[in-house]
A = this chain, B = another copy of it.
Amino acid sequence: MPTEHHPADADQAVPELGLDMIEGQPVTGSLGRILPEATLARLTQYLRALNAMQARGDEQTSSGVLAAEAGVNPAILRKDLSLLGSYGTRGVGYVVMELTEHISKAMGLLRQWRVAIIGAGNLGRALSGYGGFRSRGFEIVALLDSAPEVVGTVVGDLQVQDIADMDEILASAEVNIAVLSVPGGAAQDLCNKLVERGVRSILSFAPVVLQVPTGVNLRKVDLATELQILAYHAQNLDT
């Protein structure tokens, strides 16, 4: 790729879409296995459905039931699960708790992850209050912002800290994962800083395409993107 005028980092093209991810391509799974991206996405759905079952008191389930609840085809559910190992019983199905455990393990959810939220605007505050995180092994250990009028305020059980002190905060709080909820203009810069400080997993909500070096794991959620795709379908459903 002949390069050009703009600082476009021309290494491997990573399918960016709405949410992309990883860099170097194949990532080994929990036991040397490789889990395709699409499978990962579905595994989280299965976990969710399994949680609901557990809450209802169901102890067993089957690929048919679980698939219906997660909104997927039973065959692919079985294929997904078979990538983790053989945890079902023919003629019977799966044990809810056991399966939950195996999926959680494969996805790295048995350990606690320490998350810093960068940007305490509306979205950052909403995220820091989002209950779904803590219950799933994600602990929000820091909330940072640069605006003097925001620094020091308290959100939930966290006090907003100054981005200028990011270095020490990231280190002392032992942050594994950073969530970027800052305006587009500030995102690449902060992203670079995070990477420099050793953060290798970043979830960005900023409406820009971020460039990260190989080995850094970036996912992106773009709210405008979601609405745009919805608009496309709406246009073709309506009229």
Contacts and interface: CB of A to CB of B under 8 A. Distances in A.
A208 B71 CA distance: 11
Given A44-B228, A44-B229, A38 B17 contact: yes
Interface stretch (A2-10, A146-154, A163-171, A189-197): A2-10
A72 interface: yes
Interface in A40-70: 40-42, 44-45, 47-49, 52, 64-65, 67-70
Interface in A197-239: 200-203, 207-209, 211, 215, 217, 219, 221-238
A218 to B, nearest CB: 9
A142 interface: no
Q: How many copies does the complex hold?
A: 2
Interface string A130-143: 10110011100000
Nearest to A28: B236
Contacts of A82: none
Contact of A132 (B15, B71, B211, B223): B223
Interface in A8-31: 8-22, 27-30
A135 to B, nearest CB: 8
